[in-house]
Structure 1
């Protein structure tokens, strides 16, 4: 039995390493086992992790190259992300929690938010979105026919499947 559980753990780690490697390689434009530090948040999120900007900054401080500022080496990234994924850190919020958040924002109970309402909430409260992040969110969230965010539909698209 001990051999079987070790094989399962080895298999899990191998799968995690494969996912991390594939995600990293997409952004390793020069095929030199490094990526621009500005790409790391996208890589981490593509792996199903949703750290806050402060948590992301802490992660970057831990793995950024000292002698080559602005770059992250694959070896350091692999070690950190293996640990993060094994510990199941920075998991996204479940669909029901996201829906409750939108229901709170929809004070009139109309079933949608306007672009202006969502933009106000995302830039003025909590950890504010950058303009680029807001535009990206709105492009995915806004119903093109109605020009509003039908948040029940949006939440189901936002929910991340467990990997």
Structure 2
């Protein structure tokens, strides 16, 4: 028997809509491996640790490996209301870029950027790096 999940506001509706895109069986469940994708679809920029925290808080006890919308929606609505996992502002991104460009050349080489993304902070996988570089590299100077 399907239990109705109340949608109380626009935020709940956004979360439900994003969740349901990845609900491949139409049973208000997603695989835990989709949690990061749903969060990113909602405009969040979570770390792997934050994704794991969302999974830990919302994973179904009776069906390990799944997250149900009834637990996911209120938890994520609270995170979004608290402005958690928001992307950096353009000013903050520019400031970070300037740290990586101390000579003020106004560009960073592909090799240097790849090294930074693979070795510093939360490292990218090769696939993530390839995807990022596909849109980050200036096609004129590449």
- Map residues 48-67 of structure 1 onto 2, 5 A cutoff: 48-67=43-62
Q: Is there any run of 5+ residues in structure 2 with no aligned partner, and where?
A: 1-7
Mean Cα deviation higher: 21-30 or 60-69: 60-69
Distance 1:79 1:68 in 2: 19
Q: Distance in 1 between matches of 2:119 and 2:30?
A: 32
Corresponding position of 1:111: 106
1:101 to 69, 76, 96: 96
Q: Which residue of 2 aligns with 1:70?
A: 65
Aligned: 1:135 with 2:134: no
Mean Cα displacement is larger for which, 102-111 or 74-83?
Answer: 102-111
- Residue by residue over 1:31-64, the C-alpha shift from the partner in whole angstroms, topping out at 9 and shown as x without a partner, is 1111121111121122122222112211111111
Output aligned runs, 1:1-163, within 5 Å.
14-147=9-142
Name the one with the larger helix percent.
1
Q: Distance in 2 between matches of 1:34 and 1:146?
A: 45
Unaligned runs of 5+ in 1: 1-12, 148-163
Aligned residues: 136
1:118 and 1:53 map into 2 onto residues whose CA distance is 21
Question: How far apart are the structure 2 equivalents of 1:144 and 1:65?
Answer: 46
Q: 1:23 Cα deviation (Å)?
A: 0.6
1:114-153 CA distance string (max 9 Å, x none): 2211110011011111222212211121122222xxxxxx
TM-score for the superposition, normalised by structure 1: 0.77
